[in-house]
Structure 1
């Protein structure tokens, strides 16, 4: 099953390839027939893992497209659409996308690392430096954590805002990857400052001055890091993507990392699909946070409980959790998770759906979703061919 599913995933990545980069879906759906920053880089990482030269070339085209349409202020496009000679550039919908900037930096660095070619990095050094300057500005208070608007990242219809853990960790990954090549003392110090602030403000029983001492004390201790906090307090939902990045980046004590894995393992066993939901528990209509959710959509409402970002299960997110497990020596668990990801992707004759209803197991969202295929490729090659990401 693993090998057959792997080749089906590779086939989909090829079908989602265009002369301008990876498209979000191989289907002709307007909002997905675009070169997206985060989707494109995640598909690109899978391309590097596969070693397929054509897919790697598509990754390079993705980076070229994003760099060519960087805003003068430094913002990387959320997506770029090509319709004949007309080019449509989006830096976000209801809000700008902070993670477009960090994924771009990560993408450039992953290619340079794979090629063992620092000159590739230097090709985009000006673009990266503008990104880093913009991220510094987005701190607003110069205290080393970026402030993210509601709808400001991949969970663009969810409730997280303010100091969002996922975005802090992507920035950390981007800086560590860039500094692997640059060896800059100022960046080294910035990395240390960000790591310290993440541990102080997101991890339980941490020492140090908190951004929001009152809210931190009121936050119930968890076996994982909370999704976000803002002046109004903490949002304590489990963010599977963020906690996976935390494991990959080696933040926290060994005990805390084991707690995250234990919590995740129990949650997987409790669900019908035997994979991690993106966020947990779901926000229900009677919950106070429903008011943040119900109108946070540009087109149609999709965040019903157990679906989409609101407790839905995504193959892509589980791909990164699998990488986290491998990074922490849990190879047997990675193999089991890969099997479940392949089962999700195989639904309806390998339709590679975007996400699934965690309660019923029903496939929802867009089919032929490229980063669903990317998850399987990353996990397969990490497990079977020891593919290595650039982390630091």
Structure 2
């Protein structure tokens, strides 16, 4: 294990730790000098894994900031800017961010579990219950799967929309985490229903009534769950983050999970960096979804082939893949992924870039990205201390 890479990752989290929570980056880029829900919670999970009390306190501050600025209807901020001059709350850009809600619930419960402090969940029970009620409303048809708008989660410039696999899985994790404390039969039944609908609609040869039978029957399923479907049909691209979450949560048959694991690892081996691309295959100008991809950006187009969400490789995403490997007793493969994460994080004197071009290995996006550092910490501590989350 690379102790230098681990120490550098810890140093970066300390650099982005503020009294209001974790910032997304230590780089002086305006939109990243904010407390973000998903970035903050992922950094917070790394803080728990590290055992560093100063970072764990920053995680608590992150959750307090998000809770304080929850919208009256239950929405958790995508990000919050707090400065001497002003406080600015964003619930999303071109669309609201569904995963801010689920990451918040996960964060509160994981913190309480680590601290063995159920009172922390009680402290935020009203906020959590609002979140869960909002998630129910976002089903729209009361059939257990969330409906996410285009640009509605971390892949905010990608093509996923509708019934997005990643968002269903995060909701399962959030509900499981909360129900560890609540012990509610109603929540247990809800979890069971959501998982059943994931398996019925995202896995091949499944038994049960499909949301979109005609579209399902047209899908040529591969050894992974497709990224999303909607009334217009399925988008069958591979989503590394979602499939890693499915493995962590033990969704699907053991045989199908083994196929997902094998596909994911073999895909990582085929790339220049030895890391998983966030989504695969890459979308090119001649492909069906190019115009959808090209137009889904607020400022500038970044999803060039092999970059950002369009086939780019993210240390953060690979961190969750490393956790998935470890959870399936693939310790040596998890070590290999950690070594690859550390190698890209170390580029340009440990610049911790946001993501990398999967073909050329060139860095993209913001440097000193906090959740790139979190990836190193999460996998390193799992391997060296057997750290485990509440799953």
TM-score between both structures, scaled by the size of structure 1: 0.99
Residues in 1 aligned to 2:300 and 2:164: alpha-carbon distance in whole angstroms: 24
2:66 aligned counterpart, secondary structure: helix
Instruction: Please report how far the alpha carbon of residue 308 of structure 1 lies from its aligned counterpart in structure 2 after TM superposition.
Output: 0.2
Residues in 2 aligned to 1:72 and 1:307: alpha-carbon distance in whole angstroms: 37
User: Quick check: 1:344 aligned with 2:339?
Assistant: no
Question: Residue 10 of structure 2 corresponds to which residue in structure 1?
Answer: 10
2:337 aligned counterpart, secondary structure: helix
1:158 aligned counterpart, secondary structure: coil
- CA deviations 1:206-245 (Å, max 9, x no partner) are 1000000011010012100000000000000000000000
1:307 aligned counterpart, secondary structure: coil
Question: Residue 124 of structure 1 corresponds to which residue in structure 2?
Answer: 124
Question: Residue 219 of structure 1 corresponds to which residue in structure 2?
Answer: 219
RMSD: 0.6
Where structure 1 has 5 or more consecutive residues not aligned to the other structure, the ranges are none
Residues in 2 aligned to 1:385 and 1:271: alpha-carbon distance in whole angstroms: 29
User: Quick check: 1:199 aligned with 2:199?
Assistant: yes
**What does residue range 28-67 of structure 1 map to in structure 2 within 5 Å?**
28-67=28-67
Question: Residue 189 of structure 2 corresponds to which residue in structure 1?
Answer: 189
Residues in 1 aligned to 2:383 and 2:123: alpha-carbon distance in whole angstroms: 32
Residues in 1 aligned to 2:258 and 2:302: alpha-carbon distance in whole angstroms: 33
User: Quick check: 1:297 aligned with 2:297?
Assistant: yes
Residues in 1 aligned to 2:362 and 2:324: alpha-carbon distance in whole angstroms: 26
Instruction: Please report how far the alpha carbon of residue 85 of structure 1 lies from its aligned counterpart in structure 2 after TM superposition.
Output: 4.0
Question: Residue 155 of structure 2 corresponds to which residue in structure 1?
Answer: 155
Residues in 2 aligned to 1:112 and 1:265: alpha-carbon distance in whole angstroms: 33
**What does residue range 66-215 of structure 1 map to in structure 2 within 5 Å?**
66-215=66-215
Instruction: Please report how far the alpha carbon of residue 266 of structure 1 lies from its aligned counterpart in structure 2 after TM superposition.
Output: 1.5
Mean CA deviation greater in 310-319 or 257-266? 257-266
Number of residue pairs aligned between Structure 1 and Structure 2 = 391
- CA deviations 1:77-111 (Å, max 9, x no partner) are 00000121410000000000000000000000000
User: Quick check: 1:380 aligned with 2:376?
Assistant: no
Instruction: Please report how far the alpha carbon of residue 254 of structure 1 lies from its aligned counterpart in structure 2 after TM superposition.
Output: 1.1
Where structure 2 has 5 or more consecutive residues not aligned to the other structure, the ranges are none
Instruction: Please report how far the alpha carbon of residue 285 of structure 1 lies from its aligned counterpart in structure 2 after TM superposition.
Output: 0.4
Residues in 1 aligned to 2:369 and 2:46: alpha-carbon distance in whole angstroms: 14
Question: Residue 389 of structure 1 corresponds to which residue in structure 2?
Answer: 389
Residues in 2 aligned to 1:185 and 1:262: alpha-carbon distance in whole angstroms: 35
Question: Residue 269 of structure 1 corresponds to which residue in structure 2?
Answer: 269
Residues in 1 aligned to 2:163 and 2:353: alpha-carbon distance in whole angstroms: 30
Question: Residue 243 of structure 1 corresponds to which residue in structure 2?
Answer: 243
Residues in 2 aligned to 1:352 and 1:291: alpha-carbon distance in whole angstroms: 31
Residues in 2 aligned to 1:65 and 1:299: alpha-carbon distance in whole angstroms: 27
